[in-house]
Amino acid sequence: MTIGIDICALQGPHRMRGIGFAILNFINNISEADKRNNKFIFFMFKKGSDEALLLLNLEGMDYEIRYMKRPAKHHKARKSLLSARWRQLLGSANRQLSELKDRYVGHSLIKDADDIDVFIQPDQSASLPRSNQKMKKVLIIYDIIPYVLEWEY
């Protein structure tokens, strides 16, 4: 079985938070039998990849690293004939449509995922990848209280 895991959380300040420790514990405690029987593909950004990989125990594991592209930066729009309020409303609608597309169709940052049987996304704030129909997707949700009780949290 080929298992894809997004380990981008190990490349920033999240590596020192709960999500980073959860990813480290998950990967570093994969059984020897599972290391032998499965191939692991780790998805990450190219910048800072060496430091993140040093944290992982990859001995005896058949693995591959695939790099994701960085999200596009939003550039300030040049002055237009539209009022500031209309530009704000149209920009907000565009961002919301983009987020809906990523949530329901899958995120385009993760490429080359067609050969993966299972994809594990340990970052609940990140989207799952676009993929073929046979890929199983696993999203790990650590703490849903802020989402369920948003008005009381």
42-46, 108-112, 127-131: range with lowest mean pLDDT: 108-112
pLDDT at 135: 86
What do you get for the CA distance between the two ends of the chain, in Å? Answer: 40
Give the CATH number, domain containing residue 50.
Answer: 3.40.50
Write the single-letter amino acid at 112: D
Residue 61 within a domain? yes
Provide the b/e sequence for 54-68 (b: ≥16 CB within 10 Å): eebebeebebeeeeb
Residue 99 within a domain? no
Residue 23 within a domain? yes
Residue 90 within a domain? no
Query: Per the structure, how many domains does the chain have?
Result: 1
For residue range 32-48, what is the model confidence (pLDDT) as tens digits?
999 999 999 999 888 87
| CA of residue 21 relative to chain centroid, distance | 16
Mean pLDDT score of the chain? 80
Write the single-letter amino acid at 70: R
For residue range 135-146, what is the model confidence (pLDDT) as tens digits?
898 888 877 777
Which two structure tokens, joined as six digits, stand for 85? 């309020």
Residue 93 within a domain? no
Residue 59 within a domain? yes
For residue range 77-96, what is the model confidence (pLDDT) as tens digits?
555 666 777 778 888 887 77
The parent domain of residue 25 ranges over: 2-71+109-148
Provide the b/e sequence for 6-28 (b: ≥16 CB within 10 Å): bbbbbbeebbeeebbeebbeebe
**80 CB-near residues (< 8 Å, 6+ apart):** 87
Which two structure tokens, joined as six digits, stand for 20? 């980073």
Q: Which helix (H) or strand (E) is 66 found in, with range? A: strand 62-68
Band of the pLDDT at 4, cuts 50, 70, 90?
Answer: very high
Residue 87 within a domain? no
